[in-house]
Amino acid sequence: MRIVFKTDYMQDIRPWKDGYQLSLYLILLAIVAAAPWVLDVFYLGELTNVLIWAIAGMGLMVLTGHTGQASLGHAAFLAFGCYSNVILLEAGVPFILAFPLAGLITGAIGALVAIPALRLHGIYLAIFTLAMSILVDDIIVLTEPWSGGVSGKYIAGVDIFGLTIDRWGTPTLFYWMVLTVTVIVALGYINLLRSPLGRSFIAVRDSQVSAQAMGVDIARTKTISFGLSCMVTGWAGAFMGMFAGAFNNETFSVVISIELLMMIVIGGLGSIHGAFFGAIVIGFLPQFLSISKEYVGAVFGGSTVAIPGLEFGIFGMILIAFILLEPMGIYGRWLKIRTFFELFPFYRKDMFKRQKSYLKTERLR
């Protein structure tokens, strides 16, 4: 086990622990950036999809994982980001401006939504956001002149400084663009977490009462958290629209919201890694299922007919298993495995054991 001796404050708040850890992440980044030379077009597309989901996951993670506000309505903000991006592009705004603006607009809407949502907590907030997510479908249909309604909208390639970036025409460029945004968002997230604002997010998550006693303005913190979360989610939505090429009112359904929340739970709530792990599961589960279905069909001689709802059924079972057996998600499991090897042979079973807790009512606050 490596022990890092911290000798000054700057070293303590540095985003990386030591040069070894930093070099590991740089190597990972180099490998991911070199992916277009290794993978074929199909898997490159899948990897792009995973990165887009990871951006959305980071967006939700700020709110749910670090501020403790469960949202079942983030598909609404994906839709806002996607549509505002396209509408700005159609109005003649260059992509390099339209894309950041789409996120900012979504963030502003998110902060507005947060104002009534501030009075809610726990399940009431979840239901509020759920209702919002359902309403978005109807709102898109009603605002047909801008949104295209049921027939939807299309988006072709975009131009950045004369380079045409298109998901189908130039998948490599599209991949690098998504990767760049992912890295920027992740770096911003890491920096946020070591700033006073990020610390106050975590304080609000762990105990509102003690956060308030420490001088954290809860309403302001939650609003900023909502805004930041929705901004990042809006960017992810803009990318999702460009990745799909065509979308309408049903693209960003409530199921996407639920999937997004489940994704970060599987990945591991309260860690940036979790957003990426969850995105990998979500991104590759359909492929994995179809491959394993073929395999099962070949071995047992059964037919390979599509079973409707199979994907969600399996997804639900995986999720139940995770919540019961590993509530910290994939990242939590990884931490345990790593600690096991670092401390070998001194790892004890109860090292990550949680304290026993009893539920107290929310009806008396």
Q: Which residues lie near another protein (CB under 8 A)? A: 64, 70, 116, 119-120, 122-124, 126-128, 130-132, 134-135, 138, 141-142, 254, 258, 261-262, 265, 307-310, 312-313, 315-317, 319-320, 323-324, 327, 356-365
Residue closer to another protein by CB (options 137, 186) is: 137
Report H helices in 157-271: 171-193, 196-206, 208-213, 218-244, 254-267
Q: Quick one: which H or E segment has residue 45? A: helix 41-60
Cβ 182 vs Cβ 55: under 8 Å: yes
Give the nearest distance from C-beta 210 to another protein in angstroms: 15
Residue closer to another protein by CB (options 344, 358) is: 358
Query: Residue holding tokens 């589960």?
Result: 285
Burial class (CB in 10 A: 0-12, 13-18, 19+), 48: buried
Closest to 112 (Cα-Cα) out of 139, 72, 65, 80? 80
Rounded to 10 degrees, what is the CA torsion of 200, 201, 205, 206? -30
Residue closer to another protein by CB (options 42, 312) is: 312
Give the nearest distance from C-beta 69 to another protein in angstroms: 9
Give the nearest distance from C-beta 92 to another protein in angstroms: 30
Task: Quote the DSSP letter at residue 159.
Answer: E
**What is the C-alpha to C-alpha distance for residues 263 and 197, in angstroms, rounded to an integer?**
25
**CA dihedral (65, 71, 72, 74) positive or negative:** negative
Residue closer to another protein by CB (options 12, 138) is: 138
Residue closer to another protein by CB (options 342, 362) is: 362
Cβ 259 vs Cβ 103: under 8 Å: no
Residue closer to another protein by CB (options 26, 323) is: 323
Give the nearest distance from C-beta 157 to another protein in angstroms: 33
**Could you give the 3-state DSSP secondary structure of residue 88?**
helix
Cβ 99 vs Cβ 254: under 8 Å: no
Residue closer to another protein by CB (options 153, 205) is: 205
